Structure 1
Amino acid sequence: MMNPDFSASRACAQFASSLQYQDIPDQVIDFVKRDLLDWLGCAIGGSASPASRPIKSVSLLLGGVRQAEVIGLSSQNVVTSAACNAYFGHILEMDDVDKESISHPATVVMPAALAVGAWNASSGKDVITSIIAGFEVMLRIGASITPEHYKIFHTTATTGIFGASVAAGKILGLDEKRLLWALGNAGTLSCGLWQFLRDGGMSKFLHTAHAAGQGVYVALLAREGFSGATHILEGEQGFFKGYALKDVNCDKFEDFFKVWRSGNVSFKPYPCCRHTHSAIDAALDLREKLKGRKLKSIKLFSYSTAQQVAGKRSPRDQREAKFSTAYCVASAILRGLPSEKHFSEEALQDKEVRNLENLIKIEIDDDLNKVVPTNWPHRIEAITDDGERLVSQVWSPKGDPENELDWPAVESKFKTLTEGFITTATQEQVIEICRNFENQNSISDLFETINSTFQPSY
């Protein structure tokens, strides 16, 4: 239950307004710089994808003043810039994920911070500080309402707007009162429903675009004196009452400056829903144990949230395949390490993969459920055609903090995601900028470097 004398909303505004670069542990700064490179790879690859065309077309149609750079597009106003880059970063399903809040912070917070930072001529240190402020607020809000909230709402969207508003507001120099207003108006614009997954829609990209763009918008309004709810989280008609779907314990908002959630986010090595990744790792282990033999039976033990989000069977297109644990497992067993080409229309028609997917039986395991969201585990039990029983259990998939991707691994992922879309020389320049981002004097230089050789795939 919430303590009626404690305001989570005000705690967020107090933290964000007072945070200074020197307050942040070195390891958290290093992690966020890695996360920036990771997100840029996702956004460059996403902007090169045909799925980016709708928002590019609409942005050009609406036009307006040019204030901040967009990957693969001419400069746009600061709200549209944040929205476009956020949209691109979520297309490939390769962006970061926080386990406890079940959300993707980079692709909503970073575009907001970078857009306002470029327009405001901010330093690299200022942008890093604003990103971490946004992460810390967003991830606490998300962690306080999951997993019940996540059954209906896409947490990246609903909490991402809070993180984006804080990041933008921090760069704009908003004081505590105005940051509180920005949070209040972020909460009243918060939205994002999962129904699109059932119906095969593209709404997930819009969720991140809305969160980032509108986060910037409410911060700009707050700067101009536009007030908002000052108890948006804990109020009687506020976010927790309407969206949490459970009683909320606000203890998570009392450890700012003590616990740094920004440094505890997971990277995604595979281009599909993070809920499939421990299953994929188990499948890759099983592939090694099979030594080319066939399977007579295969059972996948999963947890409820994974099947709620990634339980699609017999996927009809790329998006459905990326949210199909069974397809991902079958593909990994037969093809090895997942890549973008494994989700192509041609790959989806592979009869051998389809037959193996149909063989997989999925069962919810209560013991696995108990460790979520601390872990997102899967277990595979299979019988080979010669009668051997094989078991593979994965508790922490590759990319989790317990099994993290270091700089070389993130750099390799970045190069893979951007290969053919920017030159090798540009890749190296972007890596160097991210490694030394605290020394960056112009945020615009980052996007100008990317766009100097950017070539889309369509």
Structure 2
Amino acid sequence: MPLPFDAFAAGLRYDDLPQNLLWTLRRSFTDTMGTAAVASTTEMAGIARRGAMALFGVGGAGTSRIMLHGGHVSPVGAAMAGAFTVDAIDAHDTTSPCKGHAGSAVFPALLALADASQVPVTGRDFAIWLAIAYEVSYRAGLAQHATCADYHTSGAWTSTGVATAAAVVLGLDRGQIRHAAGIGEFHGPRSQMMRCIDHPTMLRDGVGWGAPSGLTAAYLAREGFTGAPALTCEQVPEFWADFGVAWRTVEDTSYKPYPCCRWAHPSIDAAAELMAQHGLVAADIAGVEIRTFHNATRLAGHTPKTLDEFSYSIAFPVACMIVRGQIGVAELQPETLNDPEILRVSLATNLIDDAHYTKISVGKRWAEVTLRTTNGRQFTSPPRSPRGDRDHPLSDDEISDKFHLFCDPVLGRTRAKELADLSGRFDSLDAGGFSRLLDLCLTAP
């Protein structure tokens, strides 16, 4: 029988967590911290850190360290700076059914709470918190997308999941958990995702305000502030019918091989496969045609001028793959935006809004790519969805390679290996071991 979300959150124990869920949470911990490492070097992360230190001083809630920086602020300030940091590089875990991301809000918020805790935190404790935050976020996200005409960012629904988990961390009762979720939902940023697609800026996916909104909601509920019900948790029962029995976190979490919007990934994969299958090099390519779903065509981005525009583009990342055979750390450098060969291929790319792919891109993302060569040949890929989804999962080695690609240049190989080891088995750590993992996640390189 399904449980009310507040009863589920209040009563969840580590032994209730299935092994496939724990495997997913371990993967997400490692994957998120790899993304956070390279993201911590961006201008966006620096701005968020300075903002948090200016606005969110240490108070009665205790002290938290800013992710991969170590500056001391309130838990809410650390959650804000950390979420903006992770979101600065679009390579963190994702959920296609919700068209968004949970980990980029959940990890910074819960790491901040763990750091501020007055009692020792174990890996088992943290696994419970993560399970609540992810599961409530995903279901609230599905409910919101089904009941709201506008397409809101991930911050709009992760605020509810973070609030629920934070309420449990703070020891609130079921009534207070309901109020925390309601406050988090009401005050969560109902920011317009397609605005940031059409006009890319550092606003990104809204988690930079979703994470601190969720934490603020829990602290307010603890003091007696009311806000129940959270409509997405209590008035859309079809999305909660198997709650506490099945785990959307296991079914819906996927991982990204490339640091750009998920909607571009099937086209990148298709282009890479065509180049390899037919022995092509960039100089062979005269033109590219991408047939995909409507929202993906709005990524456009033939000549991005900033990392934000790069992240929310499709033509330029596909051109990167064609020219360089990868989209890694080097491709995140400003000089890449002026690479003449990448720009040539990008400007020769035509995006086609395909009604069929729009119709079937529900819970998945579809595209096909055609490459035209300088000698008149033409190669078309079969329709495909992205690698990293549950039906095309990344292997453990691929997750590890991505982590070290992003993390080693920032943290150094020794620290990166320790972070990968501990995050990959975080739920087995005692309080001392988890304290060491917190240090690795929160102190400056």
Aligned position for 2:285: 295
Q: Secondary structure at the match of 1:390?
A: strand
Task: State the TM-score, normalized to the length of structure 2.
Answer: 0.90
CA–CA separation in structure 1 for the residues paired with 2:37 and 2:78:
14
Contact 1:69-1:447 within 8 A present in 2 as well: no
- 1:86 is matched with 83
Q: Which amino acid aligns with 1:305?
A: N
Contact kept? 2:65, 2:72, Cα under 8 Å: yes
CA distance in 2, matches of 1:234, 1:402: 28
Work out whether residues 98 and 142 of structure 2, in 8 Å CA contact, stay in contact via their aligned partners in 1: yes
Q: Which shows bigger deviation, 60-69 or 313-322? A: 60-69
Following superposition, the deviation at residue 321 of structure 1 comes to 1.8
Partner of 1:52: 45
Check whether the contact 2:121–2:435 (CA below 8 A) recurs between aligned residues: no
Residue 262 in structure 1 maps to residue 270 in structure 2: no
Any idea what SS the aligned residue of 2:201 has? coil
Q: TM-score, normalised by structure 1?
A: 0.87
Q: Distance in 1 between matches of 2:160 and 2:16?
A: 21
Q: What secondary structure, in the 3-state scheme, does the structure 1 residue paired with 2:414 have? A: helix
Relative to structure 1, is the Cα distance of residues 230 and 322 closer, same or farther in structure 2, using a 3 angstrom cutoff? closer
1:24 aligns with 2:23: no
Return closer, same or farther for 1:26/1:152 CA change in 2, 3 Å cut-off.
closer
2:187 aligned partner = 189
Partner residue of 1:137?
A: 136
User: Equivalent residue of 1:271, what SS?
Assistant: coil
Match of 2:64 in 1: 68
1-structure distance, mates of 2:150, 2:347: 26
Identity value in percent: 23
Match of 1:33 in 2: 26
Distance 2:51 2:238 in 1: 42
Give the Cα–Cα distance (whole angstroms) in 1 for the partners of residues 442 and 232 of structure 2. 39
Residue 163 (structure 1) aligns with: 161
Amino acid at match of 1:448: D
SS in 2 for 1:110: helix
Farther off after superposition, 95-104 or 340-349: 340-349
- Structure 1 pair 351/284, CA: closer, same or farther in 2 (3 Å)? same
From the superposition, tell whether residues 394 and 124 of structure 1 become closer, same or farther in structure 2 (CA, over 3 Å): farther
Counterpart Cα distance in 2 of 1:344 and 1:147: 38
Q: Which runs of 5+ in 1 are unaligned?
A: 1-7, 241-248
Contact 1:69–1:115 (Cα < 8 Å) also in 2: yes
SS of match in other structure, 2:71: strand
Paired residues of 1:330 and 1:356 also in contact (CA < 8 A):
yes
Q: Does 1:446 align with 2:445?
A: no
How far apart are the structure 2 equivalents of 1:433 and 1:395? 35
Q: Does the CA-based 8 Å contact 2:129-2:168 persist in structure 1?
A: yes
Amino acid at match of 1:255: D
Q: Residues 303 and 437 from structure 1, CA distance in 2 versus in 1: closer, same or farther, beyond 3 angstroms? A: same
Contact 1:105 1:138 in 2 (8 A): yes
Cα deviation code 1:420-443 (max 9, x no counterpart): 221222112112211221122334
**Deviation of residue 290 (structure 1)?**
4.6
Letter in 1 for 2:373: T
> Cα distance 1:164–1:439, how it changes in 2: closer, same or farther (>3 A)?
same
Q: Could you say if the C-alpha distance between residues 18 and 372 of structure 1 is closer, same or farther in structure 2, counting changes exceeding 3 Å?
A: farther
Deviation, 1:151, is 5.1
Structure 2 counterpart of 1:283: 271
Work out the CA distance in 2 between the residues paired with 1:150 and 1:397.
Answer: 26
Between 289-298 and 48-57, report the one with greater CA deviation. 289-298
- Following the alignment from structure 2 to structure 1, what is the Cα–Cα distance between the partners of residues 356 and 192? 28
DSSP 3-state at the match of 1:379: strand
Amino acid of the residue matched to residue 14 of structure 2?
Y
Separation in structure 1 between the aligned mates of residue 272 and residue 219 of structure 2, nearest angstrom: 48
C-alpha distance after superposition, 1:373-402 (max 9, x if no partner): 332121012332333331113523221112
> Per-residue deviation at 1:197?
4.1
**Of 114, 117, 125, the match for 2:114:** 117
Moved more, 209-218 or 115-124: 115-124
Q: Structure 1 residues 312 and 423, CA, compared in 2 at 3 Å: closer, same or farther?
A: closer
Match of 2:331 among 342, 346, 354: 342
8 Å contact 2:176–2:221 — kept in the other structure?
Answer: yes
Q: Is the 8 A contact 1:68 1:444 kept in 2?
A: no
Aligned position for 1:355: 344
Q: Secondary structure at the match of 2:410?
A: coil
Query: Is the deviation greater in 366-375 or in 424-433?
Result: 366-375
Deviating more after overlay: 11-20 vs 280-289: 11-20
1:96 aligns with 2:93: yes
| Matched residue, 1:12 | 5
Post-superposition Cα deviations, 1:19-51, rounded to whole Å, max 9, x if no partner, equal 222122101101111101111111222222232
- Partner secondary structure for residue 306 of structure 1: helix
Query: Secondary structure at 1:393's aligned position in 2?
Result: coil
Partner of 2:35: 42
Structure 2 CA distance for aligned equivalents of residues 231 and 165 of structure 1: 11
Deviation, 1:406, is 3.3
User: What is the CA distance between 1:115 and its match in structure 2?
Assistant: 1.7
* Counterpart contact for 1:101–1:144, Cα < 8 Å: no
Are residue 396 (structure 1) and residue 396 (structure 2) matched?
A: no
Gap runs ≥5 in structure 2: none
Partner of 1:387: 376
Task: After superposition, give the CA deviation of every residue in 1:237-276 in whole Å (9 maximum; x if it has no partner).
Answer: xxx8xxxxxxxx6311111123211123111111111111
3-state SS of the aligned residue for 1:329? helix
Name the structure 1 match of 2:203. Answer: 203
Deviations, residues 98-149 of structure 1 (Å, cap 9, x unaligned): 0000111001112222221232232211111111111111111212333785
CA distance change for structure 1 residues 81 and 451 in 2, over 3 Å: closer, same or farther?
closer
The answer (yes or no) to whether the contact 2:287–2:345 under 8 Å persists in 1 is no
CA contact (8 A) 1:39 1:107 kept: yes
Does the 8 A contact of 1:165 with 1:182 survive in 2? yes
1:223 shift after superposition: 1.9
**Would the alpha carbon gap of residues 188 and 330 (structure 1) be closer, same or farther in structure 2, given more than 3 Å must change?**
same
| Alignment root-mean-square deviation, CA | 2.3
Within a 5 Å distance, the mapping from 1:396-435 to structure 2 comes to 396-435=385-424
SS at match of 2:288: strand
Equivalenced residues, count: 431
Q: Which stretch of the first structure deviates more once superposed, 364-373 or 128-137?
A: 364-373
Q: Are the counterparts in 2 of residues 46 and 89 from structure 1 also a CA contact under 8 Å?
A: yes
Aligned partners of 1:109 and 1:167 also within 8 Å: no
CA contact (8 A) 2:297 2:352 kept: no
Q: Which residue of 2 aligns with 1:107?
A: 104
2:294 maps to 1:304: yes
